[in-house]
Amino acid sequence: ASPQTDVPVEDDAVHVIKVEYLENGPLFSELKFYQRAAKQEQIRKWMSLKKIRCLGIPVFWGSGLTEYKGKSYRFMVMERLGEDLQRIFEDSGSRFKKETVLQLGARMLDTLEYIHENEYVHGDIKAANLLLGYANPHEVYLADYGLSYRYCPNGNHKQYQENPRKGHNGTIEFTSIDAHKGVAPSRRGDLEILGYCMLQWLCGKLPWEQNLKDPVAVQTAKTKVKNVAGKRRFCFKSSEIAKFLACVYGLAYDEKPKYQVLKKILLDGLESSGARYDGPLEFSAAARTRDHCAAKVSKVSKTQSCWTCCEMSVPSYLCLETPRMQKPRFCL
């Protein structure tokens, strides 16, 4: 490594070094994840088993300790990656095409299944932690395992236990309902976070984003979505994310998700759109029409009607049935 920290990385560099103070906890947690669960031979076997060409976990090359100007540091040598999705999302008008959202969701689902099978959860899935490949920008990688958690050490799943003192950890707009309650991360939490990410990428924003400074209000909003998920009526053609979240909400804390069922939901949406799981990722600005927001009112009983919240820029790929005179604060 060079002491010239202000010198830009050369275009042909294939490695990068992540450096933090020795006492930094997240980098230590990330290092342990790579050493235990992300050996390249493990990943190659998994890819062969699942018949996929890219798993989406960055290549870890090594680590070490060093000193600089009297201070101790830990470092990791990693594969160089490209742009993060958060920057691309903002440059695309804060909205991705439906096909791109489903591609990203299906690929991340494969990545999470591998992580979960190796006793870990990620805990902080978001666009800022998703990076495109440097050599191949049509590949996407889940990075930053500083909040990764070994939920099932030696095959023993952690017990469900709420702890208000640890509540609301993670990135507040995406964090799971369990995390709001201070419960240790689990597989269903990772999938719930992924669902919220897909929802934001498709919609442009989440229904609770105006309350991010109030974690309790965000938790309440997410809980309301969960509570009505089983009563929904699909009345918009883009129901895949709604179905995905409904399946995730139905999982028990320690239940193994049916990854292939969840993936099929997303793949069916891709097929109906004429897109492919491993097709090129297209990030051109999404059409700013009301197609994603236009309501298609379903046939409901005389005492019910279907409301939408286009004024919140939330698309009605799912409309929730409510009593006619009781308009919900938000719907999806």
The pLDDT of residue 73 is 96
What positions carry a catalytic annotation? 124
Task: Name the β-bridge partners of 131.
Answer: 84, 141
> What is the edge-to-edge ordering of all strands in the sheet holding 140-142?
81-84, 130-133, 140-142
**Do 167 and 215 touch, CB atoms closer than 8 A?**
yes
Q: List C-alpha distances in Å: 67 to 2, 6, 19, 20, 25.
A: 13, 18, 11, 11, 18
The pLDDT of residue 293 is 43
Helix, strand, or coil here: 266?
Answer: helix
Query: How is residue 241 annotated by DSSP?
Result: H
Cα 86 to chain centroid distance, Å, stands at: 12
Check: pTM over 0.75? Answer yes or no.
yes
Nearest to 328 by CA among 182, 235, 239, 225: 225
User: Rounded to an integer, what distance in angstroms lies between the CA atom of residue 306 and that of residue 298?
Assistant: 7
204 conformational bin, left if phi > 0, alpha if psi -120 to 50, beta if neither? left
Task: Name the β-bridge partners of 121.
Answer: 149
Which domains, and CATH codes, for the chain?
Answer: 15-81 (3.30.200.20), 82-289 (1.10.510.10)
The pLDDT of residue 239 is 84
User: Rounded to an integer, what distance in angstroms lies between the CA atom of residue 315 and that of residue 329?
Assistant: 14
Instruction: Give the strand pairing for 149-150 and 71-79.
Output: unpaired
User: Rounded to an integer, what distance in angstroms lies between the CA atom of residue 61 and that of residue 79?
Assistant: 7
The pLDDT of residue 316 is 42
The pLDDT of residue 158 is 96
Residues 6+ apart with CB under 8 A from 205: 94, 312, 313, 314
Six-digit token string for 192: 């719930």
Q: List C-alpha distances in Å: 241 to 23, 72, 200, 246.
A: 40, 46, 11, 8
**Do 151 and 109 touch, CB atoms closer than 8 A?**
no
pLDDT tens string, the chain, 332 residues long: the values are: 556 666 777 777 889 999 999 988 899 999 999 999 999 999 999 999 999 999 999 999 999 999 999 999 999 999 999 999 999 999 999 999 999 999 999 999 999 999 999 999 999 999 999 999 999 999 999 999 999 999 999 999 999 999 998 999 889 999 999 999 999 999 999 999 999 999 999 999 999 999 999 999 999 999 998 887 665 543 434 589 999 999 999 999 999 999 999 999 999 999 999 999 999 999 975 544 434 443 333 333 333 333 233 333 343 433 433 333 344 344 45
